[in-house]
Structure 1
Amino acid sequence: MVWFSYHGGHSGEFCAHAKSTLEEIVETAIERGFTHYGLSEHCPRYRVEDLYPGEEDCGIAGLAKAFDGYVKRAFALRDARAGEIELLIGFETETLPPEGWLDAMTALRQAHPFDYIVGSVHDICGRWVDFSPADTTALAADLGGPEALHLAYFDTVTTMVETLRPDIVAHLDLVRKFEPPRFGFSPRVLSVVERTLEAIRASGGILDVNCAAFRNGYGPVYPLPQILERARAMGIRVTLGDDSHGVKTVGVGLDRSLAAIASAGYDSVAYLTRTDGWREAPLDTLKPGRI
């Protein structure tokens, strides 16, 4: 029996908006019964205008140094804890800088022997879609309204998938983070989502069923049921992501991810191993952790 998550493991040691040390997160994953756990720290950002508020003192050079520190620490922990848990080491990408992001992410991917990468989109042309409701509303207004924002976001995700071909596609509908309860995408947006799903299927990507939305009070897990059901019909595989940012969120909410996966009609979930690559675990064989 297995228990796993591949999008998360962000730590306050290497990420300014996270908590805890990386070792504390790994220890918590072991305590909570994970057999496989992915560490996917955020990649560096390369322009001053892409810094989060509070990162000004760290700066561009500081982010790069922190990421190098993460890589060294993560691989050391993988070896040190090999008898207790199988750690998979990766990173979470950005479509930043707007010009040259693909080269930057590709170079980072090739710089270290990562087990996988998580393909994420958090911006449109350098403007955040998930940082604050006010920022997202302003971006939508500048693009021509909420539907225009959704269309631009999914177009960006499609391009990211087609060009970068990440192993895991993260929080597919992150753009609806600040939408009201019972929100659903318009038919026009869903037609673009269809193209995004087709790109994921063609690239062999695995879809992250991410519990952070539910855990943080932003509606159902990512992606919405209407998208997850379509992904299942298209034969796109799914995996679990706790999107943890400290010990308090390791594994928290993954029961909701499992419930969403089952409701969409899946009977198994994909998990990554270092020796055999991606494997499928039947839903009734999973061993949920101890929270």
Structure 2
Amino acid sequence: MSWFSFHGGHSGQFCAHAKGTLREVVERAIALGFTHYGLSEHAPRFRDVDLYPGEEALGTTGLERAFQAYVAEAIALRSEYGDRIELLIGFETETLPPVIWPDTMRRLREENPFDYMVGSVHDIDGRWVDFSRAETERLKADLGGPEALHLAWFQQMTAMVEALRPEVVGHIDLIRKFEPRGFAFGPRALLAAERLLEAVRATGGVLDLNCAPVRNGYGAAYPQPALLDMAERMGVGVTLGDDSHGPETVGVGLEASLAAAATAGYRSIQCLSAKRGWETVPIERVSRP
């Protein structure tokens, strides 16, 4: 049996909105029987205006130092625990700074010995979409309403996938985080989502089946059933992501992600190995021990 996650592993040691140490995250993954576990710390921000809430004291220089310390610690932990778990070391992208983010994210990847990259978007034109309901509503109004917001989101996601070609494409419908249960994208947004999925398929990526919404009370796992059904019909692969932000959330909710894949008709889940690349695992072989 296999049990894995490739989006998460954030820790309070290197992420201001997470908890615990990276070692505690890894030890928790081992205790829970993970066979593979991906660490994907957030890319640093390079402008003060782009700092996450709580990062002001660190500043951009401190974030860059913390990111390099994360890489060093992850490598050391992979060596220490290599006989008990396969740790994959990656990072989670931003589309920041605006305009120059493709070169900035590519540089981070080229300068570090990463196994993979989680391609994520958390902003539209430098404005956060997932930190505050009020802030997201202001952005929605400024762009011209819900449809305009959703179109801008999927366009940004598509641009990120085409520019960076990430192995894992993170929470493709994060933009619905503050929408009510039962929310559905409109026809134009679904067409934009289809173009995104075409880009994922063309670049060889797989979707992050992300259980954070289930764990945090924001609804179904990302992507929502309508998008996951579309992805399955298009032949886009999926993998599991716990989006953990500390040892206490390692693996929490992943069963919901697995159930969502089965409901959408998936018969296999993709698992990443540093030596062998993506491996197709029959869904009945994916289970928490």
Is the shorter-chain TM-score for this pair beyond 0.5, marking a shared fold? yes
Paired position in structure 2 for 1:265: 265
Give the deviation of 1:102 after TM superposition: 0.4
- Superposed, 1:19-30 pairs within 5 Å as 19-30=19-30
Give the deviation of 1:201 after TM superposition: 0.6
Matched, 1:48 2:20: no
Taking the aligned partners of 1:49 and 1:169, their CA distance within structure 2 comes to: 25
Matched, 1:116 2:116: yes
Paired position in structure 2 for 1:14: 14
Deviations along 1:209-245, one digit per CA (max 9) or x if unpaired, are 0000111111100001010011011110000000000
Paired position in structure 1 for 2:160: 160
Taking the aligned partners of 2:152 and 2:11, their CA distance within structure 1 comes to: 30
Q: Secondary structure at the match of 1:148?
A: helix
Deviations along 1:21-59, one digit per CA (max 9) or x if unpaired, are 000000000000100000000010000000122211110
Q: Secondary structure at the match of 1:155?
A: helix
The TM-score with structure 2 as length reference comes to 0.99
Paired position in structure 1 for 2:192: 192
Taking the aligned partners of 2:239 and 2:51, their CA distance within structure 1 comes to: 30
The TM-score with structure 1 as length reference comes to 0.98
Paired position in structure 2 for 1:248: 248
Q: Count how many residue pairs are aligned between Structure 1 and Structure 2.
A: 289
Show structure 1 runs of 4+ deviating over 4 A: none
Q: Secondary structure at the match of 2:158?
A: helix
Listed as ranges, the gaps of 5+ residues in structure 2 are none
Give the deviation of 1:288 after TM superposition: 1.2
Taking the aligned partners of 1:172 and 1:54, their CA distance within structure 2 comes to: 25
Give the deviation of 1:275 after TM superposition: 1.4
Deviations along 1:62-84, one digit per CA (max 9) or x if unpaired, are 10010000000001100110001
Give the deviation of 1:195 after TM superposition: 0.5
Taking the aligned partners of 2:242 and 2:76, their CA distance within structure 1 comes to: 22
Q: Secondary structure at the match of 1:39?
A: strand
Listed as ranges, the gaps of 5+ residues in structure 1 are none
Matched, 1:224 2:220: no
Taking the aligned partners of 2:179 and 2:274, their CA distance within structure 1 comes to: 38
Q: Secondary structure at the match of 2:46?
A: coil
Deviations along 1:106-153, one digit per CA (max 9) or x if unpaired, are 000001111000000000000001110000000000000111100000
Taking the aligned partners of 2:272 and 2:177, their CA distance within structure 1 comes to: 27
